[in-house]
Amino acid sequence: MLNVKLIAVSVLGAAGALKLWMDPGRWGVVLDVVGALLISWAIFVAVLYLTAVRLWREPAVEKRKPLLATRTPHTYDGRFTRLHR
């Protein structure tokens, strides 16, 4: 019995949607606004999903190690500086 009710409601819903599609009348503005909201929501969800996938695939960038981790010992002999490594 539940399946028959679901089929009947689906057929009536489809008939109502077809009538609104063919002759929207004053519902045209409402349907345009609802359609625009649905499309903008779908774009938002798609961008959010693509951003999440990209962040999931590319882990956070690790901090760079400094070029000179410690101070290099050096001596100054008057004209030149010698670095001791």
What predicted TM-score, i.e. pTM, was given to this entire model? 0.42
Q: Which two tokens stand for residue 4?
A: 């028959």
Cβ-in-10-Å burial (0-12, 13-18, 19+) of 11 comes to exposed
- Per the model's pLDDT, the better-predicted residue between 39 and 27 turns out to be 39
Model confidence at 1, pLDDT cuts 50, 70, 90, reads: low
pLDDT for residue 17? 83
Tell me the per-residue pLDDT of 31-77, one tens digit each, with 9 for 90 and over: 788 888 999 999 999 999 988 887 777 666 556 666 655 666 767 77
Residue 27 has pLDDT above 90, yes or no: no
What is the sign of the dihedral through the CA atoms of 36, 37, 38 and 41? positive
